[in-house]
Amino acid sequence: MSEREKAILVGCQLPHIDDERFFYSMEELASLVHTANGEVVATVTQKREAIHPATYIGKGKVEELVHLVEQTEADLVIFNDELSPSQNRNLARQLAVRIIDRTQLILDIFAQRARSKEGKLQVELAQLQYLLPRLGGQGTALSRLGGGIGTRGPGETKLETDRRHIYRRIDEIKTQLKLVAEHRERYRERRKKNRAFQISLVGYTNAGKSTLFNRLTAADSFEENLLFATLDPLTRRLILPSGYTVLLTDTVGFIQDLPTTLVAAFRSTLEEVKEADLILHIVDSSNPDYYHHEQTVYDLLDELGVASIPIVTIYNKQDIRHPHFVPSTETEAMMVSAFCADDIRRLRQFIEEMVKKQMVGYYVSIPDDEGKLLAQLKSETILHELHYNEESGMYECKGYVMPKHPLYGQLRQFQK
């Protein structure tokens, strides 16, 4: 692995942000730096009534930062808020190192994590949109692109060209993304036609979604103790205890203060959530800030307009849960550890119970020459009882079916 770059973090605490909130925001910034393969060598914070319009922090703090950069031999300074183009320029004049903000850091991680063509295009689009208003004073910075945190990404080599070229590239990417979105839509329509029950995993970044996804589906989604380990949605079949098969989708992790360019760019990767019949909200119970993480996810789900989809909460990492952790009572919930086989069994059972809540019960007698229908009951409904009645020559079946499934209408003629 390449040598870690040394970073100094800078945060400004405004009156409306309490100490605890500010502390966790800075901790999260440090985690983001770790994910981007950087090392935090110092942290500078300041309480202010308002952000300094020219330099973000006050004049004295900027001088302190100049000395700190010399002492620590830092490679870059990372600010905990999005800097305006003029703030970036003013700070660059005084500090002899690379300056990036929280938005650039998140974009950089997304650039490293994107696997699919769509993911890479989304990152490049967000990077270009972020850079456009900042092109003016970036001559020296742009000539260094391609080395270090905040400079990576599928499109970085093109950024030394003019605005016109960037506008043209943005149009090209949007056209390509439209085609990808249409392809995804066709795929979703096909899944709808097949009437598969769809479940989406959502949650704050690093809550353990991919680990649970892997344990439930035996897939090989990328899992690591890093923020934004998953970027591209991945869908796999999940077989429930009754044998009923559902589709489970892992999604990109949510985060507070997600850059606006990214919320827009990654909207389509979260479109999967809108198609779900059930949402599993995964919460990291070991994180001291779990409550705010829950709220961040709920706020973003509201923005996506999925309020009508049933949500259940899975509190993960119960083996290392925070001593002050108290489960929220807003939704049905259960506590698990992704690494406990018993918990995974209980979770499958819990998911099946939640699926059944959206179904209707049936009790039917099927003639023994209806082999195809019997096979469908086994694979496309939750079949709890099946036995052959010798007197009537009929199969008696009990189970649950989705009311929108074609079988629902078919079964009515065999209802007991």
Residue 242 assigned as binding residue: no
Amino acid at 114: A
Residue 209 assigned as binding residue: yes
Residue 88 assigned as binding residue: no
Residue 37 assigned as binding residue: no
Residue 206 assigned as binding residue: yes
Residue 369 assigned as binding residue: no
Residue 251 to residue 263: CA distance in whole angstroms: 14
Residue 392 to residue 280: CA distance in whole angstroms: 43
Residue 204 assigned as binding residue: yes
User: What long-range pairs does 315-322 form, CB within 8 A, spacing at least 24?
Assistant: 315/283, 315/285, 316/207, 316/208, 316/211, 316/212, 316/282, 316/283, 316/284, 316/285, 317/208, 317/284, 317/285, 317/286, 318/285, 318/343, 320/286, 321/285, 321/286, 322/285, 322/286, 322/287, 322/288, 322/290
Residue 334 to residue 219: CA distance in whole angstroms: 23
Residue 178 assigned as binding residue: no
Give me the residues paired with residue 7 across strands. 40, 76
Residue 205 assigned as binding residue: yes
Residue 199 to residue 310: CA distance in whole angstroms: 10
Contact 77, 33 (CB under 8 A): no
Residue 116 assigned as binding residue: no
Classify the phi-psi angles of 368: left when phi > 0, otherwise alpha if psi is within -120 to 50, otherwise beta. alpha
Residue 331 assigned as binding residue: no
Residue 38 assigned as binding residue: no
**Nearest-10 crossing angle of helices 117-131, 102-113:** 160
Residue 410 assigned as binding residue: no
**280-234-339 Cα angle (round to 5):** 55
Residue 312 assigned as binding residue: no
Q: In sequence order, which residues have a C-beta less than 8 Å from that of residue 130 and are 6 or more positions away?
A: 103, 104, 107, 259, 261
Residue 228 assigned as binding residue: yes
Residue 6 assigned as binding residue: no
Residue 274 assigned as binding residue: no
Residue 253 assigned as binding residue: yes
Residue 207 assigned as binding residue: yes
Residue 23 assigned as binding residue: no
Residue 210 assigned as binding residue: yes
- The candidate with the shortest Cα–Cα distance to 110, out of 93, 89, 129, 127, is 127
Tell me the two tokens of residue 289: 């800030």
**Residues annotated in the binding site for GTP, as ranges?**
203-210, 228-232, 250-253, 316-319
Binding residues: 203-210, 228-232, 250-253, 316-319
Q: Tell me the binding residues for Mg(2+).
A: 210, 230
